[in-house]
Copies of this chain bind each other. A is one copy, B any other.
Amino acid sequence: MITINNLSKTFKTKDHTVQAVDDVSIDIEKGDIYGVIGYSGAGKSTFVRLINRLEDPTDGEIILNGQDMTDLSKAQLRLERQKIGMIFQHFNLLWSRTVYENIAFPLEIAGIPKANREEKVLELIELVGLKGRENSYPSQLSGGQKQRVGIARSLANDPKVLLCDEATSALDPETTDDILDLLVSINEKLDLTIILITHEMHVIQKICHRVAVMEQGHVVEQGDVLDVFMNPQSKTTKRFVQQLNPQEGSVEELKDFITSDERSKVVKLHFVGHNAKRALISDVSKQFDINVNILQGSISPTQEGAYGTLYVEFQGEPETIEDVMNYVKTTGVGVEVIDHVD
């Protein structure tokens, strides 16, 4: 659906040049919810703005539905843009227009006659759950409601692709969940391809099928969400995965349990995917003469199955612990001895 080849964008300012996007190649399939995650300044916004040519690429190509976005005339580009929806962090609604008029705006731009707009707009208002608020002005809406208007607006021209640049970063956690649910349902209902930029890992976890991790303009990792979660390669990705389980990061509390006693070992268990062995601790306790203390960690469901990390303490004879470790490895659960905390 969207193929991006060797995309680069360099900004030149007076005193320095910034390579905001650097040789990025990505394939996005129809119906995907594709997440792009990265720290501030990683180039995420620039990347997404290159897709609808709000920025002109320095190099590379963007093929959307077989159409190379980089060699369109101005008029063609405008038409093409009408088929790409975009949702913004700060909503970017026109305060001078009501909810209805804001949603009708892209239809006006596309030159659809007034009479034909109404049905579409009302349908969208219904879809995003704003019935009854047609004549409210944005200033009379809450953040979540504003973003719903933003979503409805982005869908007005029946786009094939939806670009979301930090669409939920300005919202509180409650409302974020709400909006994400709405995006998922739209994705399913309309079979829409969504590219979603965020710096919040739980947004990726909650709704994305695939993810790319950006760092200094490069894509350092990409693939299925679970694959990336399971085997984070780069430091950035690891840090993001930690974000999902904040406790995993703060391993200081484990210190008290890490002793030189051979009969006690702190172990990190990593559960990933549909076949993660959920009964592992129970099994081990039964089969081996060993005590398992759960110290901290979490297990959570994702779009693609269970995922999580538990830090546990094995208490028993050194040899038994060794046996247990070997057993765990056969079950497909990741296992790692933690012998120091820094």
A: which residues have CB within 8 A of B?
40, 172-173, 199-200, 202, 243, 245-247, 250, 253, 278-286, 290-301, 306, 308, 310, 313, 315
Q: Is there an interface contact between A291 and B298, defined as CB atoms closer than 8 Å?
A: no
Q: Is there an interface contact between A295 and B281, defined as CB atoms closer than 8 Å?
A: no
Q: Is there an interface contact between A299 and B301, defined as CB atoms closer than 8 Å?
A: no
Q: Is there an interface contact between A247 and B292, defined as CB atoms closer than 8 Å?
A: no
For residue A288, give the distance in angstroms from its CB to the closest CB of chain B.
10
11 contacts between A and B (CB under 8 A): A202-B246, A247-B300, A253-B301, A279-B291, A279-B293, A280-B294, A281-B285, A282-B290, A285-B285, A296-B299, A298-B300
Q: Is there an interface contact between B301 and A296, defined as CB atoms closer than 8 Å?
A: yes
Please name all residues of chain B whose beta carbon is closer than 8 Å to the beta carbon of A283 when the two chains form the complex. Answer: 285, 291
Once the chains are docked, how many angstroms separate the CA of A296 from the CA of B246?
16
The contact of A250 among B172, B173, B247, B301, by CB within 8 Å, is B301
Please name all residues of chain B whose beta carbon is closer than 8 Å to the beta carbon of A292 when the two chains form the complex. Answer: 279, 281-282
Once the chains are docked, how many angstroms separate the CA of A300 from the CA of B291?
20
Q: Is there an interface contact between B285 and A282, defined as CB atoms closer than 8 Å?
A: yes
| CB closest chain-B residue, reference A293 | B278
Once the chains are docked, how many angstroms separate the CA of A134 from the CA of B281?
54
Please name all residues of chain B whose beta carbon is closer than 8 Å to the beta carbon of A290 when the two chains form the complex. Answer: 282
Please name all residues of chain B whose beta carbon is closer than 8 Å to the beta carbon of A285 when the two chains form the complex. Answer: 281-283, 285-286
New A-B contacts (20) at CB < 8 Å, excluding given A279-B291, A298-B298: A246-B300, A247-B298, A247-B299, A247-B301, A250-B301, A278-B293, A278-B294, A279-B292, A279-B294, A281-B285, A281-B292, A281-B294, A282-B284, A294-B310, A295-B299, A296-B298, A296-B301, A296-B306, A296-B308, A298-B308
For residue A168, give the distance in angstroms from its CB to the closest CB of chain B.
13
For residue A139, give the distance in angstroms from its CB to the closest CB of chain B.
16
Once the chains are docked, how many angstroms separate the CA of A111 from the CA of B283?
70
| CB closest chain-B residue, reference A292 | B282
Q: Is there an interface contact between B173 and A243, defined as CB atoms closer than 8 Å?
A: yes
Once the chains are docked, how many angstroms separate the CA of A295 from the CA of B202?
19
| CB closest chain-B residue, reference A239 | B174
For residue A268, give the distance in angstroms from its CB to the closest CB of chain B.
13
Please name all residues of chain B whose beta carbon is closer than 8 Å to the beta carbon of A172 when the two chains form the complex. Answer: 40, 199
Please name all residues of chain B whose beta carbon is closer than 8 Å to the beta carbon of A291 when the two chains form the complex. Answer: 279, 282-283
For residue A173, give the distance in angstroms from its CB to the closest CB of chain B.
6
Please name all residues of chain B whose beta carbon is closer than 8 Å to the beta carbon of A293 when the two chains form the complex. Answer: 278-279, 282
